[in-house]
Structure 1
Amino acid sequence: MASSRKLPQPDLAHRVAAVLAGHPHCRRLCVGLSGGLDSVVLLHLLASLRDAFGFSLSALHVHHGLSAKADDWARFAVDFAGSLAVPCTVRRVTVDAAGVGIEAGARAARYAEFAAVVADAVVLAQHRDDQAETVLFNVVRGAGLAGIAAMPILRSLQPGLDLLRPLLDVPRAVLAAYAAVHVLDWVDDDSNADPAYDRNYLRLVAMPVLRQRFPGVDEGLARAARHAAEAEALLGEYGRQDVAACLNEAGGLDLHRAALLGELRARHALRSWLQQLGARPDKRAFDALWQQRGTESLCWHWHGLMLRSYRGALYVAPDGVPAAAMQSCPFLPLQKVPLEGGVLRWQRGWGLRESLLVQGGLELRPRSGGERLRARPGGPSRALKQLCQEAGLPPWLRTQTPLLYLNGELAALPGVAVAAELAEEGGWWPMWQAVPAGPNGG
């Protein structure tokens, strides 16, 4: 263990308090407590602010089992947290370094434990020096804007659980000064002194050289991260708008609409759509998709996600899984309703009469064959196959789309047609999107 000598007390509590005030939804905080200087200071700070802000506080120590001292570090974390009346949980993990290395494997194991925490936010002690190293590390690996943006102060780990870094704009020297004033002890991980690890090399070798030549390098790199984050957020906003403008009624990305945006925005719209589907392909895979995007024989795979092309649009192909068995469904206008096999939503326009829908009796059923529907007032009933062809519904999606029944009567083929005798202007048009058999589903 190490301790520090007394230095002038930095005004650190006010900085952390300001971050907490900006995120009032974080009422249950869990600190990732390694036992090192940074996390010790963070836990001590939050314990001092606990009563004033009225949040609950706990700690999590992830035991990686990579050092002979790992048990001692776990005991220190529990004892230190206990001295502040903070409950501390120790989680033992197995690090899988195959194909990624010890650093990445340990990080993956650690973040898996963070994601399982019952809290509003997991709070980590990364500081400005860490941010600068992360930017540099990502730059030398050829990262794009997202990589240069590095670590955000707040991001979602999973629904209802955020990851918060209140020290991200604070130099490590300020944390050391705080530890000195409060005579705090901490543990030192011997592996942090080994330059064989990439991040250690940057911290121990590259950054000291850069600081000698460019004294403001840490702040400069952190500022570059903020600029990149703003640019990435702006591109994300444009991407969402462009995707919305390019999606057709069947949920496919219309390549003709995308082409009107120009090549750069069209490529960005395609990448944004993939991200919405949970896919972040590497450059080679994305370029292959871009080159083949308009060919009718396209069948593109990425980590379980499959895209196919039909009539000038790209669609998610859910691997031929048929529509789910019969199930009742609620009428929730302007909402996305998750159901077995997909999502149902309603939009205003020519559609089913609301007075009928609010009475209930809605069911989704798989197709059995031979169904017909009168899609136009006064027109003949027509086979669903014909209606699907006219609507441009891709063949592989036709078995994925269930039929909507109202009190036992066929009322609609979502996204394609509604029964004219049950419809009116200003009614509700049902839309169905099958769950993709990829990163976001199946």
Structure 2
Amino acid sequence: MHATSLYQQVKNAITPYIDEHKTAFTVALSGGVDSVVLLHVMNALKAEIPQLQLTAVYVHHGLSLHANEWQAFCEQLCNELAITFYAAQVKIDRKTRTSLEQQARDARYQALDQLSPSGSIILLGQHLNDQLETFLLRLKRGSGLQGLTAMRQTRMLSSGRECLRPLLNVTRQNIEQFAADFNLEHITDDSNCDERFDRNFIRQQIMPLLSERFKGFEKSAVRSVGLLQQQQDLLDEYSQLDLQRCQNSQQGLSCLALANYSAARQANVLRCWLEQFTALMPSQQQTLQILNQGLTAQADAQLLIQLAHGQVRRHQQFLYFVRDTEVPQSQLVTDAELLLSDGRSLVQLTGEGIRKPLPNEQVTVHFNRPQARIKPLKKPGHNTLKHWFKDAKVAPWLRANVPLIFYNEQLVYVVGHFISAEHYQQEGIFWNIKT
């Protein structure tokens, strides 16, 4: 086993981590031939690298009648190899406009992240043929450069945990031959032959034809993917430079700075900016809508474009990404620290603020009362909260979550913004938000 090229490729992939003293690895074990081969190779590497720590995780999606059998197989295999084994059962709540495959994949990554030991690198068994199938699927969907780069050898989860694909340059044929040479038992998922799924159709019908017709097609295509990845990396470097010129300290994107670029460059900077907040990019139509409305609107015009995980809003000639949130509930203020319904804490302190409530005054915290009136300290006259927020240039989407302190039905304190001049007291009370 140690003399095979497959073994060496896996060893070469994990060596940089070992050199950095990252010695804990978790194999995403499905029981299929690729993950079983990966597990056996990593187990052999343990004998060569004593400090290497190895665990395995099986994720039970509940999508196959054989899932319990596969879990039992994986657990028995790990017991035979004396490898710590974990299993997770996840529930897939089917959603519209998202493929079942995508939902299962997202749930799998989340479970892998939760069960893998702290600091462990997750090892995925995806191989060269998986890479080509991904490339062709994205080509079919009309993906751009970034989509056509397919899978990277490393992937960072949202939690910051790193995933590694040590077999990404190894063909399925080589993996299967390795398993046969060393008599490695594995399971076969019959659903992989169901050609109703696009990936299976490409695997069963398209790839064999291409490989038969064009000698060396697999390696040539993967080489092209590698070149696309290099070009994307170069583009990313320039994109970051553009983003630094266009983004302010509040992560807003300057419409004025963006207007100096070509249309293609504007779209690229917009995507680079959005990647900080969401993995789901806007469609081409949404991108044009954001740029057209964002760059050509009047200075004080509002913009709201709904995306999958939030909204793109415009304020003071900057674009902002705003996550969807619920307005907190109104509550009585009875203690010095109050837990709000959105998880924040409202803390009462002493100092320059307003007078304490009278015995007949009930203290409540409300939200989203734009028509409530107040005369702020050092401001001329009474007016609505909507007026004062606009005067202070507070972004519209921030206003609904600002705690408003009322004495009975009178607004007396706008946390972080305004003090009622009629209730002002130098040695009084005030409130802050603790997140």
- Calculate the TM-score normalised by the size of structure 2: 0.71
Match of 1:90 in 2: 87
Matched, 1:285 2:279: no
Matched, 1:303 2:308: yes
Does the Cα contact within 8 Å between 1:9 and 1:178 map onto a contact in 2? no
1:386-429 deviation per Cα after TM superposition (whole angstroms, max 9, x unaligned):
99999976566589899xxxxxxxxx99xxxxxxxxxxxxxxxx
Structure 2 residue identity aligned to 1:312: Q
Matched, 1:16 2:14: no
Instruction: Give me the whole-angstrom Cα distance separating, in 2, the residues matched to 1:84 and 1:19.
Output: 22
The alpha-carbon deviation at position 181 of structure 1 amounts to 2.6
> Structure 1 residue aligned with 2:33, among 24, 37, 48?
37
In structure 2, relative to structure 1, the CA distance for the partners of 1:308 and 1:190 (3 Å cut) is: closer
Counterparts of 1:288-437 in structure 2, within 5 Å, are: 288-294=289-295, 295=297, 296-316=301-321, 370=376, 394=395
Matched, 1:73 2:78: no
Does the Cα contact within 8 Å between 2:75 and 2:85 map onto a contact in 1? yes
Instruction: Give me the whole-angstrom Cα distance separating, in 1, the residues matched to 2:114 and 2:203.
Output: 30
> Structure 2 residue aligned with 1:59, among 35, 56, 68?
56
Does the Cα contact within 8 Å between 1:9 and 1:181 map onto a contact in 2? no
Match of 2:420 in 1: none
Instruction: Give me the whole-angstrom Cα distance separating, in 2, the residues matched to 1:117 and 1:129.
Output: 28
Match of 1:47 in 2: 43
The alpha-carbon deviation at position 220 of structure 1 amounts to 2.0
Instruction: Give me the whole-angstrom Cα distance separating, in 1, the residues matched to 2:93 and 2:232.
Output: 31
Structure 1 residue identity aligned to 2:252: G
Count of residue correspondences: 359
Does the Cα contact within 8 Å between 1:299 and 1:306 map onto a contact in 2? yes
Unaligned runs of 5+ in 2: 337-342, 346-351, 353-364, 366-373, 380-385, 404-415, 418-432
Instruction: Give me the whole-angstrom Cα distance separating, in 2, the residues matched to 1:92 and 1:61.
Output: 9
Deviates most, 68-77 or 211-220: 68-77
Does the Cα contact within 8 Å between 2:274 and 2:321 map onto a contact in 1? no
Instruction: Give me the whole-angstrom Cα distance separating, in 2, the residues matched to 1:263 and 1:192.
Output: 42
Structure 2 residue identity aligned to 1:308: R
Instruction: Give me the whole-angstrom Cα distance separating, in 1, the residues matched to 2:286 and 2:387.
Output: 36
Match of 1:356 in 2: none
Which SS does the other structure have where 1:170 is aligned?
Answer: coil
Does the Cα contact within 8 Å between 1:320 and 1:396 map onto a contact in 2? no
Identical aligned residues as a percent: 32
Structure 2 residue identity aligned to 1:112: Q
In structure 2, relative to structure 1, the CA distance for the partners of 1:162 and 1:369 (3 Å cut) is: farther
Instruction: Give me the whole-angstrom Cα distance separating, in 2, the residues matched to 1:44 and 1:232.
Output: 34
Matched, 1:118 2:116: yes
1:178-204 deviation per Cα after TM superposition (whole angstroms, max 9, x unaligned):
222321111111111222221111111
Match of 1:108 in 2: 106
Unaligned runs of 5+ in 1: 1-6, 328-338, 342-362, 374-384, 403-411, 414-433, 435-441
Structure 2 residue identity aligned to 1:114: L
Does the Cα contact within 8 Å between 1:132 and 1:219 map onto a contact in 2? no
Instruction: Give me the whole-angstrom Cα distance separating, in 2, the residues matched to 1:253 and 1:290.
Output: 11
In structure 2, relative to structure 1, the CA distance for the partners of 1:392 and 1:95 (3 Å cut) is: closer
- Calculate the TM-score normalised by the size of structure 1: 0.70
Instruction: Give me the whole-angstrom Cα distance separating, in 1, the residues matched to 2:145 and 2:94.
Output: 27
Does the Cα contact within 8 Å between 1:97 and 1:106 map onto a contact in 2? no
Instruction: Give me the whole-angstrom Cα distance separating, in 2, the residues matched to 1:46 and 1:249.
Output: 45
Match of 1:418 in 2: none
Instruction: Give me the whole-angstrom Cα distance separating, in 2, the residues matched to 1:309 and 1:203.
Output: 45
